[in-house]
Amino acid sequence: MSEDCLFCKIIDGDIPATKVLENEHVVAFRDIAPKAPVHVLVIPRTHVKDVAAAAAEVPQELAAMALAAQEIADAECGGEFRWVFNTGASAGQSVFHVHGHVLGGTELEWNPA
């Protein structure tokens, strides 16, 4: 855990979030500024900065994130979803605790902006 990390504080319960899934590996909660009808962030309990670091340092948690993303999509958007990782500030990452955006619930067009 990182003391100054927003997502670590959500995991610890210090900052409220609308959680949709929680297990020993991950926490998933609704995005506060959704870009689709279903927009859920999936984060590992282990603090790592981005998806590449997660693959290198905690691959089992990255796998758990993928399973959680599918579970959320199965429950909320017919099993189909887009899973987005922003890596680095210029790519749109604003919280440097790896998180995958589960997007769905509508026909998704490509719009990276």
Task: Assign 3 a pLDDT band (cuts: 50, 70, 90).
Answer: confident
pLDDT in tens, 59-106: 999 999 999 999 999 999 999 999 999 999 999 999 999 999 999 999
How far is residue 87's CA from residue 73's CA, in Å, rounded to a whole number? 22
Statement: residue 12 has pLDDT above 90: yes
39 is catalytic: no
Domains (ranges, CATH) in the chain?
Answer: 6-104 (3.30.428.10)
| pLDDT value at residue 10 | 97
Distances (CA, A) of 96 to 32, 52, 62: 17, 12, 15
Among residues 25, 39, 97, 99, the one annotated as catalytic is 99
pTM, entire model:
0.94
Please write the tens of the pLDDT for every residue from 13-64: 999 999 999 999 999 999 999 999 999 999 999 999 999 999 999 999 999 9
Contact 41, 101 (CB under 8 A): yes
Q: Is residue 113's pLDDT more than 70?
A: no
Q: Please name the residue that has the structure tokens 């605790």.
A: 97
